[in-house]
Structure 1
């Protein structure tokens, strides 16, 4: 049975374009369209679609308000369409905080090298979030204003269509989250977290539970467009006790400071433990992900060896698997978010299936697990 989609946008051209792309996949069907947020809320209640695609700026009722009402009345997976501007980034983050699961730029050429790639990516995103109806939550309280901090948004940095993970060997035995965690006794010098679709909300949930005196530097790799990462870092910083900034070339890694890889670029670690710095490099035309988790994880393995505590969170594809493999070979620790709490169980699954991760953890306990592992709790 085809996934039923409601397309919401005040532009007749964009409604028609999105509908054509979605209907081009036999697994998907546009059952209706809406021209504003008020109409969207009413049609979701009447038609019970499996997925809603939603514009942000609309008359009568804007997309963010519509998301809040839908999530409160008839929780439904929602894919936002956003402009790639600073203001568009902040609005998209607000929509994700309200309960939307993912977003894509309205200009498809910003996410793919050709029409076929853009078509495939949109179709895949709709199919993926359609599976997460049971994951949906009631909306949070409205996020703080842009001057005090903001919230999260999912993947958007990948330029190529998502490729399925290659067949992997059977996973090694790993523990499910116990009622109480215990520390392994390992010593660490860096925390590294990689994520994609659903990751911004996941990162917010983890980082906001860390204390101001957190003893290690943290590197964050989130697939996200270049215009979004500064707003995302600002929002995380306003909500967290630790310091969160968009990474800059030459940044020295300091305890209690999280560095978010800038969109469209690659973030690498250079130097030696205790005196390491970040190198921000051109994203590279041949790289599927900008930033790429594999790139940052691989450089962390070379600098820190067995002293990295790393996590792969929700996201499409398999980015992070090879970097995590390098970290494991060096003796570092790798955890994966569990399937039930992921928006998309792609990246964590790739790591788990390859037998690289030692623990599968629910999102709401990852911060607790970090604190116990570092003997902070």
Structure 2
């Protein structure tokens, strides 16, 4: 049975375009369209869609308000559409805080090479969001919490003591990552003394806004990474969207930002960052793979483990999308499998 989709946008042209793209995939079916957030709430109650695609700037009721009301009454996975601007990034991050599962830039042509890739990208996003089934929405809090007392499944050999003498932490994530990272960085103490790299799948215009948001809520110093940044204890560097970040231990430890090879699907890529950490830091590096669609991070984790490094993965129950951690765990690469609310606790013990 096809997944039922409700399309919400005040632009008649965009509603038609999205509807045509979705209905071209036999796995998906548009069952209704709405011109504003108020109509979206009404049609959600009436039609019971599996997924809603939502614009954020609309008359009568904006998308963020609509998402909040939907999550409070009849929760449904929401895929937000956003503009590729700094302000659009801020609004999209607000929508993710409100409960949206994922986002997609509204300018399809800027992120996809042709009509076929646009259809594939949108369909994969909708199907991925639907499979998430809001698993993380009720459980992932962005405020500090007590460590979970529940036992979590572990990978083979996933009982390694918390590693000591680390010099670098690399965190990789995708769908569900912004909320997960806010959960972690609200809880990390000001005395945390390791440099941290964050690789979050985001467009180029989004990562600066996301770094700003993390910096405002964290006791640590957070910035978008730049070429030549020196890795400092207690500082956090967000990989810029559209490029690749690698680390180099020579000359005290630094960051290099590279143009991305088109053969690499993700920009930034968790695999690329972990591979550089494996090469330069080896046993003194820790990789943490959080919620996300796909398998980015698995091959980088393999290289990290081969070099003596350490790898943690988020558990299935606390993930919005279990793809990336599952790929690492199923490959037998995770030293520790953690609920999201325990990640900052164990990081604090490093």
TM-score bracket, shorter-length normalisation = over 0.9
Aligned to 1:194: 172
Change (3 A) 1:60 1:44: same
Aligned to 1:270: 248
Query: What is the deviation of 1:39?
Result: 0.6
Q: Report the Cα distance in structure 1 between the residues aligned to 2:162 and 2:131, rounded to whole angstroms.
A: 35
Query: What is the deviation of 1:185?
Result: 5.0
Structure 1, 106-115 or 49-58: larger mean CA deviation: 106-115
Query: What is the deviation of 1:366?
Result: 1.1
Q: Does 1:123 align with 2:106?
A: no
- 1:113-192 equivalent positions in 2, closer than 5 A: 113-135=113-135, 137=137, 173-175=156-158, 183-192=161-170
For normalisation by structure 2, the TM-score amounts to: 0.92
Aligned to 1:261: 239
- 1:311-330 equivalent positions in 2, closer than 5 A: 311-330=288-307
Aligned to 1:359: 336
1:107-158 CA-partner distances (Å, limit 9, x unpaired): 1122222111111111111111112335163699999xxxxxxxxxxxxxxx
Query: What is the deviation of 1:45?
Result: 1.5
Contact map agreement 1:98 1:140 (CA 8 A) in 2: no
For normalisation by structure 1, the TM-score amounts to: 0.86
- Say which SS state the counterpart of residue 180 (structure 2) adopts: helix
Aligned to 2:94: 94
Aligned to 2:347: 370
1:224 to 202, 216, 222: 202
Contact map agreement 1:98 1:142 (CA 8 A) in 2: no
1:23-44 CA-partner distances (Å, limit 9, x unpaired): 1222211111100011101111
Aligned to 1:308: 285
Q: Report the Cα distance in structure 2 between the residues aligned to 1:298 and 1:280, rounded to whole angstroms.
A: 14
Aligned to 1:332: 309
Change (3 A) 1:2 1:174: farther
Query: What is the deviation of 1:302?
Result: 1.4
Contact map agreement 1:267 1:295 (CA 8 A) in 2: yes
Q: Report the Cα distance in structure 1 between the residues aligned to 2:66 and 2:235, rounded to whole angstroms.
A: 35
- Say which SS state the counterpart of residue 227 (structure 1) adopts: coil
Contact map agreement 1:266 1:292 (CA 8 A) in 2: yes
Contact map agreement 2:207 2:240 (CA 8 A) in 1: yes
Q: Report the Cα distance in structure 2 between the residues aligned to 1:183 and 1:203, rounded to whole angstroms.
A: 23
Aligned to 2:257: 280
Change (3 A) 1:142 1:193: closer
Q: Does 1:215 align with 2:193?
A: yes
Aligned to 1:54: 54
Structure 1, 332-341 or 258-267: larger mean CA deviation: 332-341
Which runs of no fewer than 5 residues in structure 1 stay unpaired? 144-170, 177-181
Q: Report the Cα distance in structure 2 between the residues aligned to 1:83 and 1:76, rounded to whole angstroms.
A: 22
Contact map agreement 2:141 2:183 (CA 8 A) in 1: no
Which runs of no fewer than 5 residues in structure 2 stay unpaired? 144-153
